[in-house]
Amino acid sequence: MRFTLLTCSILIFLLVIGVTDTLKSNVYSLVPVAERKPIPESANRAKAKERLKNIFGSKFDRPKASEVPSLIKELLKLADETTSEDSAVQYVLLDRTLELCLDSGDFETGLEVVQRLSSNFELSEGKLTQDLIKKGSRKVKTREQATKLSELALELVEKSIAGDDLDVADKVLQDSRTLVRKTKNVQLVDRHGYYKDDVKRLKPAFKAIEKMFNVLKKDPDNSICKVDVGKYLCFNKYDWDRGLMLLSECADEELAELANQDLSLPTTSEDILKIAHSWEDFSKEHKKEKALSEAAKVRAYFWFSQSLDSLSGLDRVEMAKRLEEMEIAAPTMIVLYNQHNGPGNNTGSGRCNITLYSGKKKVWERKSIYLKWVKNQDPQTFVRIPEVKFDRFRVDITHRARGRNAGGLSEVEILSRGINIVRGCLAEASAEHKPNDPRSAQNITDGIKSSARELIGYWLLPRGRRGWADIHLKKWK
């Protein structure tokens, strides 16, 4: 019995270490790379190419346009069947397939080939994707091709920013500037613009902490480096999840205590208000550091607003008034979450207009925003907005997703410094699916970003009708 208990203790200890290491890996983006093969020598590649030319004949080097799609499939199939020992043949097959994808404008398959090359050989997926975008930009012939390649480019930019590889993000933005304009797609042009602004804003801030960032990769327990890297993530990048995790273990006792309070997920009004006041005090103490002070104040605003659920009577009225009078940095991003009506998958929005109001005055609008719809998912659409003051947001669903019978949304987030400032705010709509239907407009500010559970957490319009929903930024349900 003693042996069994000892064995269990050891197993639990090892499991805890494993989980801890996994968490640290996620926090610092240290993803283990599977063992990959070196790029085969040129002589071996030449031999492999000759073998393949003997099999495929002239179409390997000079296929007719009509032969390219089937040749791409054949080469990929053969690459899958080729054993890892014959790495030269596998490399030449994938490399040639990538060339054919570029020549034919099949950029989606090209990206798949890039992923196969980088997972099997000692090649950088980011660099290969960069080359794909750069070379592909010169070969696009239609708006459809330009759109597909632009989407790939912006996905790489997004991943690069998330992975703190700002030089790659900057280079891809430069290479894809003309390409994105060719699409004549306002959303893609806007997206390119705000990524460009983000990279420009983040690069000097990241450069200031880059040495500490690299030290932290090698020494994940370095509490001194966690101070500045955590501050950069929270107050510059607005990556609060990663940033607070680091700050909770940092050498700055004040910040560590504040981060741990924030991560404690409080439920009582007393605990929530304690966090809110702490962030507010922190903001006031660091007024000279504009980025830090503004972000901390928005964090305080968020926690003050969350206290409303547990307040009542005069306390709630006083808090609502305090929030109404509290000045915070203007929002810069709106996130729209589509919906699919649970297992039915029969509803969803296709296009919408959005408008910002200050009182009754219209201060900004954007029309015909495309909303992606995917079965069993609630895709996000990001809309960058100017830094203007507004107190009411309207989303007007003008088109349903193709083949769906009713529009609506799962959630709307309005972000200031990466923080959703409308969670719990009052929402109302021109119409709802049925009288007393639980799928009301109020659901778009409830924090539930999925419509996977039928009747829960999303807004649904009447069948076949368009309609709008308003969110009041300084009013709460």
pLDDT at residue number 2? 37
Cα 354 to Cα 367: distance, rounded to the nearest angstrom = 6
- The whole-number pLDDT of residue 451 equals 98
**Alpha-carbon span 213 to 229, nearest angstrom:** 6
Per-residue confidence in pLDDT tens, the chain, 477 aa: 333 433 343 333 333 334 333 333 333 333 344 578 999 999 999 999 999 999 999 999 999 999 999 999 999 999 999 876 789 999 999 999 999 999 898 998 999 999 999 999 999 888 899 999 999 998 898 999 999 999 999 999 999 999 999 999 999 999 999 999 999 999 999 999 999 999 999 999 999 999 999 999 999 999 999 999 999 999 999 999 999 999 999 999 999 999 999 999 899 999 999 999 999 999 999 999 999 999 999 999 999 999 999 999 999 999 999 999 999 999 999 999 999 999 999 999 999 999 999 999 999 999 999 999 999 999 999 999 999 999 999 999 999 999 999 999 999 999 999 999 999 999 999 999 999 999 999 999 999 999 999 999 999 999 999 999 999 999 998
Question: Which residue is associated with the tokens 């949304």?
Answer: 409
Domain spans of the chain? 42-186, 265-327, 333-476
How far from 126 is each of 36, 133, 175, 370, 470, CA to CA, in Å?
16, 11, 14, 28, 41
Query: At what angle are helices 143-162 and 107-120 packed, to 10 degrees?
Result: 40
- Nearest one of 199, 193, 188 to 236, comparing CA atoms: 199
pLDDT at 468: 98
Structure confidence at residue 378 (pLDDT): 97
- Report which secondary-structure segment, H or E, holds 445: none
pLDDT at 82: 86
What lies within 8 Å, CB to CB, of 384 at 6+ separation is 190, 191, 193, 194, 332, 333
Residue positions counted in the chain: 477
- Tell me the C-alpha distance between 373 and 402, whole Å: 9
3-state SS class at 85: coil
How many angstroms separate the Cα of 282 from the Cα of each of 45, 113, 238, 250, 461? 61, 49, 17, 16, 43
> If you classify domain 42-186 with CATH, what class do you get?
mainly alpha
